[in-house]
Amino acid sequence: MNTYQEELGAPVHDTNPAARAPEAPARPAVAARREFIDDPRRKSQMLALVLSAMQGLGKVYVGYYKQGFTNALIIGGLIALLNTNVINGGAEAFFGLFLAFYWLYNVVDAWRRAVFYNNALAGIGPAAMPADFPLATGRGSLAGGVALVVVGLVLLMNTLFNMPLDWLEQWWPVAFIAVGAWLIYPHFANKANDATGV
């Protein structure tokens, strides 16, 4: 540096590269949008919405088998209940309104679950899934599989051996009892695990 630069207060440029401060590391590149779109695990929100017209199918598509089968059983049970003479005294309006609400709720819910699922795959959106949106694991459901096997066997007995299905008219409420027990069991299992510290 010469005396003229010192007098004028001109900026001094160091020509020694070793003396420069280290540069900050470059930010990691964000995954391209194209890679996110091409991810085979990604679920179509619109397809989940359309499939939900058949209750439970949209959630099964996204990977939420338990919720899908539960929704199908509840909707089927409500429709069967409204077609019998069990309900009277104006309760039909209540159950009919609840049926419409529950149906539309599940259509919207399947779309929302597909959105959260895709955001979780892309690493965007909330840091954690909402409490009632555990990420679908892609694994099967033992209870759902057993239920399908039982229903399939009963229908097969009817088609192959003409086994009458009249008993279903009296025993269909057992399906609600089974689903209720299936939903209650994890609650008590979790409480037992918390008590034992497992």
**Predicted local distance difference test score (pLDDT) of residue 28:** 43
Find all residues with CB under 8 Å of 65, minimum gap 6, and list them. Answer: 59, 140, 141, 144
Domain spans, the chain? 41-135, 141-198
3-state helix, strand, coil in the chain (%, to 5): 65, 0, 35
Give helix 142-161 / helix 65-82 axis angle, nearest 10°: 50
**Predicted local distance difference test score (pLDDT) of residue 147:** 72
- Looking at the chain, the whole-number percentage of residues with pLDDT higher than 70 is 66
For residue 198, is pLDDT > 80? no
- 90: pLDDT confidence band, cut at 50, 70 and 90? low
- Looking at the chain, the whole-number percentage of residues with pLDDT higher than 90 is 1
**Predicted local distance difference test score (pLDDT) of residue 195:** 77
Per-residue pLDDT tens for 20-60?
Answer: 555 555 444 444 455 555 666 788 889 998 998 888 889 88
For residue 136, is pLDDT > 70? no
- 143: pLDDT confidence band, cut at 50, 70 and 90? low
Find all residues with CB under 8 Å of 136, minimum gap 6, and list them. Answer: 62, 63, 64, 113, 117
Residue 61 tokens, joined: 């598509």
Q: Which residue has the higher pLDDT, 137 or 123?
A: 123
